[in-house]
Structure 1
Amino acid sequence: MTDYPHMLAPLDLGFTTLKNRVLMGSMHTGLEETKDWNRVAEFYAERARGEVGLMVTGGIGPNLEGSVLPGAAMMVTQDDIDNHSIVTRRVHDAGGKIAMQILHAGRYAYGPKCVAPSPVKSPISPFPPAELDEDGIEKQISDIVATAQRAQEAGYDGVEIMGSEGYFLNQFLVTHTNKRTDRWGGSYENRMRLPIEVVRRTREAVGTDFIIIYRLSMIDLVPNGSTHDEVVQLAKEIEKAGATIINTGIGWHEARIPTIATSVPRAAFAWVTKKLMGQVSIPVITSNRINTPEVAEEVLSTGCADMVSMARPMLADAHFVRKAMEGKANHIAPCIACNQACLDHTFSGKLSSCLVNPRACSETELVVEPASTKKSIAVVGAGPAGLSAAMTAAERGHSVTIIDRSDEIGGQLNMAKQVPGKEEFWGLVDWYRTMVADMGIDVRLNTEATTEMLQGFDEVIIATGVLPRDPAIPGQDGANVHSYIDVLKKRATPGKRVAVVGAGGIGFDVSEYLVHEGESPTENLPDWMVEWGVSDPAEHRGGLSPEGPKPEAPARAVTLLQRKAEKHGRRLGKTTGWIHRAALKMKNVEFVGGVNYERIDEKGLHVSFGEARENPTLIEADDIILCAGQVPDRSLADALSDAGIVHHIIGGADVASELDAKRAIDQGTRLAATL
């Protein structure tokens, strides 16, 4: 008997059967571009060993003009076929199934040769696309079909044809990007001609016993996007053209509504897929912010879809499905949808990984093996750096003791989880607690580590974290001044007018915390939809409310200040910074930059501007919150050095950089893998 009967039920496709209802969705990891095909194969094979029903690769270009970037992976030569064969053989040997995503980027292609239905430049690319003529359209169709044939020759079980997220086929569907007046434009029947033709000719080329997934944009979230009736009409025609499965795409890349970030409610768009259920007879997959077996089971059992797509959760834990099968769901490393090591890396041209699981995409490079010599290891600090080091060391067979002065594990994660939109951090701390107990790690809380206490250990790891940086503002010792720690640990309750000193990640988080009161919109889907202006595409084209975003009134008037004369949040995550800025602006947070902090008194914060300290200004405030950065807490490390005790320093104690959990966890894991 299983707790997840719908998620773990097989899915009969006629010519083949999927072992369960979980699809590992496509992700642009950058692995294929490394050309280290053993590394690529091991990444997918590890997920196959984790019992996922079907995997989809990152997007593979059908030709040069359709590739997302210069040098991006394509499937155009015999060498490409041979290289991909290494992947498919490894996956099949591991008992898995895998499809290759064919991704034509259209006007999103980051290169001067990009093409599109009309010469309408994308707001996220500097390159204006060339408008295709009839011969050009025929070339794109032929190249996509040929790519599918090569994927079949390489041993893939199927292909996913990317028709959503604002990519090439999606661009033909809407008048926002298709201004044509020939048979490929104008009426909706003409605009949907291209995706139908691509699927029809692909099915003719690959035969009947080959999976064709069509990724269909079910809510565009851009002006002049598709209506629900158009989505249904296209889905029916795609089924007739020969698709095996329809997958859900949510939002174009240029949409100004978050769709997968941690502040988006879980399964936030499952209702969109549910509207298509019963309209077609082939299986339908739903997607976006499904990150636990419980959420997946709920989505399936309530008839929202026949199958669920989970992409980033398979980075966080390759054995997600297997652990659910074994009744160990609480052992699944949770995807917190932070984007920091996956999407942020992708859009920065780096190889993807995972904040929670640094081994993701590094399975052949970051190997955790049993230690040849078992040691006793002390880890001082139970934040993300210390916990990752302790768990990796314990996994290798070492005897591990964690010492922390706090009364709970998690370190600064326990403050992050208080911020509206970061509720996933509760689950991350819970997972650490479960794993530490399961691994038999000795945890000593409410304990101040000393040099004497640490002398008997073979290895000592210092993960003592950070201390707030002192901004040295005259008057900061007043009763109306608090550190971010006081606020997030609820030791201080600021008044209705607040000045926040420092606009880094912590300043943004504290501001978000201050403007909200009551239930977080992330925990209430209808409220979240109203806040961001998301509507039913059956009522409003593209799923955009004509009223736009309508957030609740802010709980406080907040001014967010920084010394740098630059855009606030410039150093926030590449794919999430805009969300944080937009969220605060919707709450009327005032951004003030280029300031000097002159003094604080009972009236508020006095500032001036520029090197000449001009334009003295009073920021009237009941309370001032200091978020002016951090410094490493190295007092214990210094004492150990003085005592001649060899030790390792990781996390914030090593480098205090915006509470960088990604770097801390990676550093802790890599260190412990070598001890």
Structure 2
Amino acid sequence: MTARYQHLLSPLTVGSTTLPHRVIMGSMHTGLEEKDGGEHELAAFYVERVRGGAGLIVTGGVSPNPEGAARHHGAHLSTEDQLPRHHVVTTAVHEAGGLIALQLMHSGRYAMHERAVAPSPIRAPINKVTPRELSESDVERTVEDFARAAYLARQAGYDGVEIMGSEGYLINEFLVEHTNRRTDRWGGSPPARRRFATEIVRRVRERTGPDFLVMYRLSALDLVPDAQEFEEVLTLGREVETAGASIINTGIGWHEARIPTIATSVPGAGFTWVSRALRENLRIPIATVNRINTPELAQEVLARGDADLVTMARPFLADAAFVAKAREGQSDSINTCIACNQACLDHTFTGRRMSCLVNPRAMRETELVLGPTRTAEEIAVVGAGPAGLAFAEAAAQRGHRVTLFEEQPELGGQLQLARRIPGKEDYQHTVRYFTTRLRELGVTVHTGHRAAPEDLAFADRVVIATGVHPRRPGIPGDTGPTVLGYKEVLEGAPVGDRVAVIGAGGIGYDVAHFLTHNPSADFYAEWGIDRSLEARGGLLTPAPEPPMRRVTVLQRSTTKPGSRLGPTTGWIHRLELRMAHVRFITGVEYQEITDRGIRMTAPTPEAAGAHARAGGGLALEAPRVETLLEVDTVVLCAGQESRTELALELAGDVRPVHVIGGADVAAELDAKRAIKQAVELAAALP
């Protein structure tokens, strides 16, 4: 064990179980829990992480009864005939030397089916289903369902369970007055609202015995209106402790909270101060969560006493060997989670199999295999953006001899632009990871060199990953002195106080945020988070700093701006720009860009207002007006085009020539698609 991570890598004994280190692999619903035969793929996913050093793994959420499942036919454990599937997973994990706990999660009013139930019949703002109110006998039955599911989990070979009591699911709904309007013994007062949670823990412990891990996921900071006061949270923690919990795992925010808690905009280890307040008042070990993605950060959190354990979920998607690399002192080789949500949570909440933007092998361990090559080739890769880097690493890992050309002086391509966006600084970790891995694998790298066909004569195979260049929208005057491309802006070109951004896609949103973000902004003040833990639910009135510029975002389309942003992060980007007073105008027809601004026609203010109230779908025949939008700078974010010059020069080449990433498809700047395509190509080579 390296002394650098002595806190992180020290063992911890909890009851009769000794954890090998202080890292818990947190719960992630993968999408394989419901798939026929998915248990074998799930076992392969977990085993790869155990071999990479994971100690205690917590599964994705499994309901204690069918009505608590997230979707129709969702994962639940309620009968003995379901045990064989679970045995496949637990046996594989144990044979690899790991520990595994089943998360018991009743979705409550978040369930997206007609059988949804809740303490009171109040629909969640993020769901279309109004739940049925549980009767008193239903509540009693549900408590017993949790206890039986825990008993079955033990029979299935699990080392413990985690009872999901946070994030706004059923147990959390019982705790909060806003969602629990009951006046029986399960509501009406804080002690009565806590009874459901504590009774579940007590009966689970009673049913599973003293030598079984019982973790409780405690909502330490609800971040919704009319929620728990922190003293109520502490009281619940003490009651859960007395009822028999082994570990309390911290939960932050409900899914419906309008505050980021796990997205890339959240500061690293941004909520461990809440766990510290719990740890100072409770006796059993406390695990902390959210935006802890490096061993250095985890070590720091534990060293200062914020928690006894660190729960990481997505970092194990990004790199199965996170712990092993930390133990070996190779943290630069860790493929770091960048909290983008694009392939993990976005997939989960839209019913797709979870994966990872920076590691597309996650959840595809049995089908996307990077085994040794049968015939080592000399491969030339042109372009060191996401696609080129990912292919070079994967091909070299398989044993091919790879030479990489990049015309810029540094690796990364569009990742170098992404990391300049406030809140997306973690993209620099991806560049660091690939840079380290290419060096470890012996890839020959030429930077500051634009490859020509003659440079590639040595290669048996050529992979073109030359990326994209910004598209000019063809507006008269779009090459004028007041016009800049998004690349120039992100690289530091001077920009005036009044700015028009042409294009309301992901790039337009990022650039508008870049231009308006005030460097003195405090995340907690900006979003209204009470660090004193005195406000109910942890909520204060947001107090964002004044924006650095006045920005107007223009869009030709009449669709709602931001409609293509990620489902779990789009709302954050929209709120960020709203707090910065960014104005959006849709349905724009451009006449000319001049030194004074943009001459254009657009819907009248009345039509635009109706459009905004309707949430999009502005009629093309809506009344319009010609206007001059006076600005100092115009920034073009009107899409991009593939760079295909080299591919055209090599057309007809007798060698295999592959075009990947943005050079293949230029739509948006999709690193997820580019990296996935690159790794799949490397895996498919002979």
TM-score by length of 1: 0.97
Q: List gaps (5 residues or longer) in structure 2.
A: 604-619
> How far does residue 456 in structure 1 lie from its aligned partner after superposition?
2.4
Contact 2:585 2:602 in 1 (8 A): no
- In the aligned structure 2, how far is the partner of 1:357 from the partner of 1:654? 20
Contact 1:403 1:449 in 2 (8 A): yes
- In the aligned structure 2, how far is the partner of 1:163 from the partner of 1:618? 55
One-letter amino acid of the structure 1 residue matched with residue 626 of structure 2: P
Please give the residue correspondences for 1:32-111 in structure 2 after superposition, counting only pairs within 5 Å: 32-35=33-36, 36-111=38-113
> How far does residue 609 in structure 1 lie from its aligned partner after superposition?
3.0
> How far does residue 644 in structure 1 lie from its aligned partner after superposition?
4.8
> Is the aligned partner of 1:5 residue 2:36?
no
- In the other structure, the counterpart of 1:315 is 317
- In the other structure, the counterpart of 2:523 is 528
One-letter amino acid of the structure 1 residue matched with residue 31 of structure 2: G
> How far does residue 570 in structure 1 lie from its aligned partner after superposition?
0.6
> How far does residue 642 in structure 1 lie from its aligned partner after superposition?
4.7
> Is the aligned partner of 1:579 residue 2:572?
yes
Q: Deviations over 1:326-371 (max 9, x none)?
A: 1111111000000000000111111000001001001111011000
One-letter amino acid of the structure 2 residue matched with residue 28 of structure 1: H
- In the other structure, the counterpart of 2:560 is 567
Contact 2:461 2:655 in 1 (8 A): no
One-letter amino acid of the structure 2 residue matched with residue 538 of structure 1: L
Q: Deviations over 1:259-313 (max 9, x none)?
A: 0000100111000010011312110100000000011011101110000000000
> How far does residue 574 in structure 1 lie from its aligned partner after superposition?
1.0
Helix, strand or coil for the counterpart of 1:348?
Answer: coil
- In the aligned structure 2, how far is the partner of 1:87 from the partner of 1:645? 44
Helix, strand or coil for the counterpart of 2:629?
Answer: strand
One-letter amino acid of the structure 1 residue matched with residue 472 of structure 2: D
Which one of the candidate residues 220, 223, 227 is aligned to 1:221? 223
> How far does residue 138 in structure 1 lie from its aligned partner after superposition?
1.1
One-letter amino acid of the structure 1 residue matched with residue 6 of structure 2: P
- In the aligned structure 2, how far is the partner of 1:276 from the partner of 1:194? 21
One-letter amino acid of the structure 2 residue matched with residue 493 of structure 1: P
- In the aligned structure 1, how far is the partner of 2:333 from the partner of 2:87? 33
> How far does residue 516 in structure 1 lie from its aligned partner after superposition?
2.1
> How far does residue 468 in structure 1 lie from its aligned partner after superposition?
1.1
- In the other structure, the counterpart of 1:606 is 599
> How far does residue 455 in structure 1 lie from its aligned partner after superposition?
2.6
> How far does residue 596 in structure 1 lie from its aligned partner after superposition?
1.2
Helix, strand or coil for the counterpart of 2:352?
Answer: coil
Helix, strand or coil for the counterpart of 1:300?
Answer: helix
- In the other structure, the counterpart of 1:300 is 302
Which one of the candidate residues 660, 665, 668 is aligned to 1:650? 660
Contact 1:56 1:99 in 2 (8 A): yes
Contact 2:552 2:585 in 1 (8 A): yes
Helix, strand or coil for the counterpart of 1:32?
Answer: coil
- In the aligned structure 2, how far is the partner of 1:79 from the partner of 1:437? 51
Contact 1:246 1:285 in 2 (8 A): yes
Contact 1:219 1:537 in 2 (8 A): no
Percent of residue pairs identical: 54
Helix, strand or coil for the counterpart of 1:598?
Answer: strand
Please give the residue correspondences for 1:139-538 in structure 2 after superposition, counting only pairs within 5 Å: 139-490=141-492, 492-518=493-519, 521=521, 527-536=522-531, 538=533
Contact 1:640 1:646 in 2 (8 A): no
Q: Deviations over 1:588-609 (max 9, x none)?
A: 0001111112110111012213
> How far does residue 662 in structure 1 lie from its aligned partner after superposition?
0.3
- In the other structure, the counterpart of 1:554 is 547
One-letter amino acid of the structure 2 residue matched with residue 192 of structure 1: R
**Aligned positions, number:** 666
- In the aligned structure 1, how far is the partner of 2:283 from the partner of 2:497? 55
- In the aligned structure 2, how far is the partner of 1:24 from the partner of 1:484? 38
Helix, strand or coil for the counterpart of 1:272?
Answer: helix
- In the other structure, the counterpart of 2:625 is 615
Contact 1:451 1:643 in 2 (8 A): no
Contact 1:2 1:325 in 2 (8 A): no
> How far does residue 192 in structure 1 lie from its aligned partner after superposition?
0.2
> How far does residue 235 in structure 1 lie from its aligned partner after superposition?
0.3
TM-score by length of 2: 0.96
Which one of the candidate residues 632, 645, 648 is aligned to 2:642? 632
Comparing 637-646 and 140-149, the one that deviates more: 637-646
Helix, strand or coil for the counterpart of 1:413?
Answer: helix
> How far does residue 14 in structure 1 lie from its aligned partner after superposition?
2.4
- In the aligned structure 2, how far is the partner of 1:518 from the partner of 1:580? 17
Contact 2:464 2:663 in 1 (8 A): yes
Helix, strand or coil for the counterpart of 1:201?
Answer: helix
> How far does residue 537 in structure 1 lie from its aligned partner after superposition?
6.5
> How far does residue 536 in structure 1 lie from its aligned partner after superposition?
3.4
Contact 1:227 1:537 in 2 (8 A): no
Which one of the candidate residues 671, 681, 686 is aligned to 1:661? 671
- In the aligned structure 2, how far is the partner of 1:78 from the partner of 1:234? 32
Helix, strand or coil for the counterpart of 1:275?
Answer: helix
Contact 2:15 2:246 in 1 (8 A): no
One-letter amino acid of the structure 1 residue matched with residue 547 of structure 2: P
- In the other structure, the counterpart of 2:614 is none
State the Cα RMSD in Å: 1.2
> How far does residue 142 in structure 1 lie from its aligned partner after superposition?
1.2
Contact 1:537 1:544 in 2 (8 A): no
> How far does residue 408 in structure 1 lie from its aligned partner after superposition?
0.7
Helix, strand or coil for the counterpart of 2:214?
Answer: strand
One-letter amino acid of the structure 2 residue matched with residue 614 of structure 1: R
Contact 2:460 2:656 in 1 (8 A): no
- In the aligned structure 1, how far is the partner of 2:47 from the partner of 2:263? 27
Helix, strand or coil for the counterpart of 1:575?
Answer: coil
- In the aligned structure 2, how far is the partner of 1:199 from the partner of 1:399? 56
> How far does residue 518 in structure 1 lie from its aligned partner after superposition?
3.3
- In the aligned structure 2, how far is the partner of 1:383 from the partner of 1:80? 46
Contact 1:67 1:109 in 2 (8 A): yes
- In the aligned structure 1, how far is the partner of 2:554 from the partner of 2:266? 26
One-letter amino acid of the structure 1 residue matched with residue 452 of structure 2: T
Contact 1:455 1:645 in 2 (8 A): no
- In the aligned structure 2, how far is the partner of 1:27 from the partner of 1:38? 17
Q: List gaps (5 residues or longer) in structure 1.
A: 522-526
> How far does residue 81 in structure 1 lie from its aligned partner after superposition?
0.7
> Is the aligned partner of 1:541 residue 2:542?
no
- In the aligned structure 1, how far is the partner of 2:81 from the partner of 2:362? 26
Comparing 319-328 and 429-438, the one that deviates more: 429-438
One-letter amino acid of the structure 2 residue matched with residue 640 of structure 1: L
> Is the aligned partner of 1:134 residue 2:136?
yes
- In the aligned structure 2, how far is the partner of 1:538 from the partner of 1:417? 32
One-letter amino acid of the structure 2 residue matched with residue 415 of structure 1: L
Helix, strand or coil for the counterpart of 1:240?
Answer: helix
Contact 1:371 1:396 in 2 (8 A): yes
